Amino acid sequence: MDFLYVKSLHIIFVITWFSGLFYIVRLFIYHSEAEQKTSPEKEILQNQYKIMSKRLWYIITWPSAILASLFAFWMLYQNPSYLKMPWMHVKLSFVLALYVYHGICHKIFKQLQNDIVEYSSTKLRIWNEVATIILFSIVFLVVLKNTINWIWGVIGIILFSLLLMFGVKLYKRIREKN
């Protein structure tokens, strides 16, 4: 198969993988917030979130992660010179971080499927931004094809993270007032 077709399929499944990760954490947030409701509303909502989460997780998110990786390996097989480029090593480190994130989301998914609500909606909102930071890092590395001046890159990611956390806290305050 032509390299550009493989690359296109890789990009498509990366997009659906991230979409699944972003949406699953939103469902975790809703599931956590439903914990504060009274019966029978609590049970009805949580059962619905379990069904939605299970379908999203096993029909979209996991398959997308596997297919994105399969097409990535295929591209590396077709063009092994990429493995000699320093930016690719950094990108692969972020992909590893994304799989760790995915694994932690899987743990949270399993807990919620078993009615264990361990995290507050605020913690889950902050957790949701971790995927955003990984996404930004990977996209900039792939587009710029360099390891980006590490000092500025690290400072930028830290500032971006602080800005996201501030946004989450501000959103929480606005919601509590309404």
Helices (H), 1-40: 3-34
Res 155: pLDDT: 74
Question: What CA–CA distances, in Å, run from 54 to 27, 48, 50?
Answer: 10, 10, 6
Q: Which pLDDT band, with edges at 50, 70 and 90, does 162 fall under? A: confident
Res 141: pLDDT: 82
Q: pLDDT digit string (tens) for 83-102? A: 998 889 888 999 999 999 99
Give me the residue spans of the domains in the chain.
Answer: 3-177
Tokens for 108, please give them.
Answer: 């949270």
Count other Cβ atoms within 10 Å, centred on residue 61.
25
Q: How far apart are CA 89 and CA 49, in angstroms?
A: 37
Question: What CA–CA distances, in Å, run from 87 to 40, 71, 97?
Answer: 52, 19, 15
Q: pLDDT digit string (tens) for 103-124? A: 999 999 999 999 999 999 989 9
Q: What is the pTM of this model?
A: 0.86
Span of 23-32, 44-53, 137-146, 149-158 with lowest mean pLDDT: 149-158
Res 109: pLDDT: 98
Known binding residue 84? Answer is: no
Res 139: pLDDT: 85
Known binding residue 10? Answer is: yes
